[in-house]
């Protein structure tokens, strides 16, 4: 599947509402998982996930993911904690589900634990594809702190990649 086709297929906001609560059942509340996917360019998407788990624990992650082998992969620009692997999040779809997973295929370890509370996980998280809706607040989303941070980090990474390959230096030297 080409990047543009997959972007068009995945773009939107996915929401799942459920009753959250403490593990002992003493408190309950309305909880909601939200996954937003927005086209960034022809081969990248912006993704933001805000997920709720038991005892009020959360996962929150956002960034620009690149198309690779029929999926989008978000590579965190830098390690957040010494000793942890760099966070890598794969976003793809099955027939009925949108899947987010941070499993390192080489060792089956979770790579994005630092984005979750102790009872949260980005390991093989799924949300129904039929829960997807059009994003009606796109201007507000693109002005959000998370989107702007993600765009800036992506542009900085692209700039560093160009400089390290020598492309930018060659372009600057051209008449």
- Residues 28-65 have pLDDT tens digits of 888 899 999 999 999 999 999 999 987 778 999 999 99
Asked whether residue 156 is domain-assigned, the answer is: no
> Residue 168 pLDDT more than 50?
no
Query: What pTM was computed for the model?
Result: 0.85
Number of compact structural domains in the chain: 1
CATH number at residue 14: 2.40.128
Structural domain boundaries, residue 88: 3-136
CA pair distance 42, 60, nearest whole angstrom: 25
Asked whether residue 148 is domain-assigned, the answer is: no
Q: How far is CA 113 from CA 20, 22, 84, 98, 150, in A?
A: 21, 21, 9, 20, 19
């Amino acid at each position: 599947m080409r990047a543009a086709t997959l972007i068009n297929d995945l773009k939107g906001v996915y929401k799942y509402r459920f009753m959250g609560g403490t593990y002992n059942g003493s408190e309950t509340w309305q909880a909601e998982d939200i996954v937003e996917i927005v086209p960034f360019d022809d081969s990248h998407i912006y993704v933001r996930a805000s997920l709720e788990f038991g005892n009020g624990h959360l996962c929150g992650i956002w960034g620009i993911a690149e198309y690779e082998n029929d999926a989008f992969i978000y590579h965190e620009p830098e390690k957040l904690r010494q000793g942890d692997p760099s966070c890598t999040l794969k976003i793809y779809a099955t027939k009925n589900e949108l899947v987010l997973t941070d499993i390192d295929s080489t060792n089956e370890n979770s790579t994005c634990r630092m984005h979750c509370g102790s009872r949260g996980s980005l390991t093989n998280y799924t949300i129904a594809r039929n829960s997807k809706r059009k994003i009606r607040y796109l201007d507000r989303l693109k002005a959000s702190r998370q989107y702007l941070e993600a765009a800036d980090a992506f542009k900085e990474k692209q700039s560093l990649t160009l400089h390290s390959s020598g492309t930018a230096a060659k372009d600057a030297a051209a008449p």
